[in-house]
Each structure stands twice: as C-alpha cells, then as structure tokens.
Amino acid sequence: MSSDFFTSLLGNIWSIFLIVLFFGGSIFVHELGHFLAARRRGLKVERFSIGFGPAIWRRVGKDGCEYRISVLPLGGYVALPQLADLSAIEGEPTTDVAKLPPPNYATKMIVFVMGAVFNVLFAFALACILWIVGQQTSEDLSTTRIGYITDTITLPDGSKVMSPAREAGLKVGDTVRAIDGEKVKDWPDMMQTLVTSFGQAEDGRRESIFTIERDGQTRDFVLHPRLVSEDKVRKIGIIAAYTPIVAEVPKDSYAEKLGLKVDDANTALNGAPLLNLLTLHDALQKDGSAALILTVKRGQQNLEVTVPTDRPKEAAGIFGASFRTTTGLIHTNPVEQITSHASMMVRVLVSLVHPHSDINVSKLSGPVGIGKVFWDASEAGMRYVLWITILVNVNLALFNLLPIPVLDGGQMLFATIGRLRGRALSMNFVATSQSIFMVLLLTLIVYVSVFDIGRIRRDAKADAQAKEAVTEQKKAAEQPAPAKP
C-alpha cells in the first residue's frame, strides 16, 4: 500500500514538474522574445513577469529591470513603457515616459512580433528533436481507413438515429482521402477536420463531402453529420481500421481453449477482412447457430480457428483475452509538424467565426484544459509531451498575433493605424481598449475553464466506469463454467 502511494506521489510530482517546465517554459520563451528584442532596439524594460497579479517572487537586476513570477499563471508580460500604456495590467510605470525617446514604427513591430517568433523557433527546435527520436503512433491513428461503422449514433437527448456513415452508404474498408476537398493524412486529422467543418445543405442539415477510395476507385459521398456527446461535436459513426492482435491469454480462458496465443494477428472473420475488434464482438453477440471461422496470422503462418456454436456469450469480454494493435515510430520533418499544427489552429479560428459552424468558445481549452493535456501527456511519455508543447507554442504564436487589444497583434494594429494616419492613437483610447479587452480575456479564460473542469470530471467518471467494467469482466472470467447436465 505504501509503495503504491509513493509511486503515485512521485508520478504526480513529475507531472507537475513537466507542466511547469513546458507550459510555463512556453510562456517564458514568448516573453523572452519581447525582452531581447526590446533590449536590442534600445528600449527601457521595467519588468519581466511570468504570470499576472501580485508577485510570488521578485528580484531587481543590475540592469534595473524587475524580474518576477506572479500569482496568476495565465500568461506573462514585459513592461515596456515606451511602447504601450498597460498600467491597468502591469501597474504604474516607475519611469517618466515623457523623458524617454519615442520608438519608431519598425521598433514597435519588431518587438511585438518577436514573442510569436520565439514561440515558433522553440517549437521548431522541439520538432527537430521529435523528428530524430520519432513520434509514437499506432495503426488505428496513422490510417484513414474505416474499420467499423456503427448502425446508430446517440444524440445528446439520448435518442438514437441511423449513423450518417451507414445512411450515406460508406463501407468497412473504405479509405477517406479528403473532407470537403481538404486532404486528410491520419485519423486524428480527419476527425478534427470533420469537427471543424461547417458545410450546410439547402434544407439546413449539416453536410460534409467525403472523398472515398474504394476498390481502387475514388468517388464523393454526401454525408449529414450529427451532433453527439455533451460537447455536441460533429460525428458520422465510424471507427478506424486496425488488425486486432492478441496481447494476453489468461490461463483457463476461452481464448486458451481455442488455441489462441499472444501476438496472434486476427486478420479475417468468415473469409472477410477483420479490420476492427468490434466486428468480432458483434458476430459473437449474434445467434450462435453457425460456427465462426477466425483467420489468425501466427508468425509466417495463416491458421484457421473455429469458434463453435456453443461459444459463451462473452460476458468476460472477447474470449476472455485482451487485444492490442501495432505501434511504431514516425519521423515527421519539423516544417511539416509546424505547418500541420498551424493549419489546425487556422481551421479552429475560422470555425469560431463561421455562422454555420458548431464550434464555439465553450469547446476551447484554457489554462486548466491545457494543464490537463500536459498531465495526460506526462503519463504517455516524453514524446507526447514534446508533441503537445510544439502544438501549444504554435497556437500561442498565432493567437497572440490576432488583432485584438492586449495581444501582440492588437498592439501591432494600433501602431500600424498610427503610422497610416500620421500620428499615434490617443493614449486614453489605447489604455481604455486594453482595459476592456483584458477584462474580456480574463472572463473568457474563466468561462472556458468551467467547461474544462466539466470535461475533466466526465473523463474521470468514464475512466472509473471503464475500470469497474474491466474488474467485473475479470471476475466473470475467473468463475468456473456451469457443469453440463
């Protein structure tokens, strides 16, 4: 018991350390870009803060700059009184701004943009590491081939309707090449493209055009996605293809009785390709009046395993065994990694403002959600932590370049407007805009964090139910079979 406690404690400490190192480090890198650019351009730097609000730790350097870590880890800032009046956020400047030389337009643009540039450079450096060591993936994630189609999907109100994939005539084995004309490279990319799509039919139904490759031929299918789950995202009722591989054969299990062995690849069922374990599950749940022929690849041999008619009803899972899929490493070059993340961010931003999209701010993640992602990534391994950090830095760079006051893009917009009109915007106007949008930004962070917490609670509940189901299956598997009369 004590050993499990300390193992869990050390795991939690490690997760917290990684969140501070990589999430906090991403914010630090962004502000470092502003700081170094400002110094290079000869600007006065009053403060370098990670986080907002009162200081947890502070120190004034020999250069006269105050370095601090603040209580609210929702970002950070570099206090540059010559560039912008952010006294509502950073506090009143200690330097008389009137005595400082005004920076030119080029200086303003360079300093404001360098935060995003440093995030991209940091992401590129991490992407180079991930390119070398490889990114962990699995067969079901690296494909766009359909392995299973549900007959129905459940709507948020609990009602069941025919799945859009079944309704449109998609088939197991189809390979999705594009959605609405946009090519998809793997399963997560395909799902994200579907979720952020905003096609609409003339009758008002949601609509997506799936470009499908079937038997060497390519054709388009018109699908009408439905909103599912509490998050209300677009789904069509498909699951990725993969080859089920036996991971464990418990002693005295039905799998052992059938002669299955660890690492057996289940490639076909009754002569048809087996592309998802759910297909086998469905066959076992049906009337057992006919035997099932399972084709198994063991090493270089293809064997046929007969599942007789008197098979159990699978209360203990499929044959009482556990299954896995193949895993491996992919080595994606840094440029492709960066552009892939950037494309994803752009799709989300476009969906947020499109009138026919189902994406709204409640589906975004704030600091709580990002922290949870890093927490999960720490349990999955350092490769996944690197991948998430690259994603966060690319998103941070693009988000900060949006033309919104308080963000770097807003400052660049103000500077550009001042340049075009021949004189700077009123300091009162700029300060008021900054204050208003800072309140809105903090409100948005709190708003999305509420939904982050709700998703975390639902995930925790689902995990607990899954563990309970596994425990019940193991208990059922351990029970002796009833004696035949």
Spatial contact of 292 and 279, defined as CB atoms under 8 Å apart: no
Please give the full DSSP string across 382-445, using - where no structure is assigned.
HHHHHHHHHHHHHHHHHHHTSS-TTSHHHHHHHHHHHHHHTSPPPHHHHHHHHHHHHHHHHHHH
d(CA 252, CA 5) in angstroms, rounded, equals 33
Report the SS3 class of residue 71: strand
Q: Which helix (H) or strand (E) element contains residue 69?
A: strand 66-79
Give pLDDT, residue 284: 87
Using only C-alpha atoms, what is the Rg of the chain? 28
Measure the CA angle with vertex 187, ends 181 and 192; round to 5°: 60
Q: Do β-strands 265-269 and 292-298 pair in parallel, antiparallel, or remain unpaired?
A: antiparallel
* 51 backbone φψ class: left, alpha, beta (φ>0; ψ -120 to 50): left
Q: Count each helix (H run) and each strand (E run) in the chain, helices first.
A: 13, 20
pLDDT at 51: 79
Give the chain's domains with CATH numbers.
9-134+380-464 (no CATH), 146-233+329-363 (2.30.42.10), 245-324 (2.30.42.10)
Residue-level pLDDT at 380? 83
- Find, among 246, 241, 212, the residue nearest to 140 by Cα: 241
Q: Which residues are 297's β-sheet partners?
A: 265, 302
Residue in 374, 370, 379, 348 with CA at minimum distance from that of residue 361: 348
CB 108 within 8 A of CB 38: no
Residue partners of 189: CB distance under 8 A and separation at least 6: 340, 344
pLDDT at 485: 43
Entry pTM: 0.85
Q: Cβ(115)–Cβ(408) under 8 Å?
A: yes
- The β-bridge partners of 55 are 70
DSSP 131: H
Task: Pinpoint the alpha helices (H) of 187-327.
Answer: 187-195, 254-258, 277-285
How do residues 227-275 score in pLDDT, each as one tens digit?
998 888 999 999 999 999 999 999 988 999 999 999 999 999 999 999 9
Which positions of the chain have pLDDT values less than 70? 1-11, 73-75, 84-98, 313-317, 466-485
Max alpha carbon distance in the chain (Å)? 101
How many Å apart are CA 465 and CA 414, to the nearest integer? 52
Q: Answer for the pair 250, 176: CB distance below 8 angstroms, yes or no.
A: no
Q: Which two tokens stand for residue 45?
A: 């730097």
Compute the distance between CA of residue 255 and CA of residue 253 in angstroms, rounded to an integer. 5
Kindly report, residue by residue over 153-203, the tens digit of the pLDDT: 999 888 999 999 999 999 999 999 999 999 999 999 999 999 999 999 999
Within 8 A by CB and 6+ apart from 461, the residues are none
Q: What integer pLDDT is reported at residue 273 of this predicted model?
A: 95
Using CA atoms, how far apart are residues 83 and 105, in angstroms rounded to an integer? 10
pLDDT at position 207, please?
A: 96
Tokens, residue 107 = 């200086």
CA distance 62 to 104: 27
Handedness of CA 393, 394, 397, 402 (dihedral sign): negative
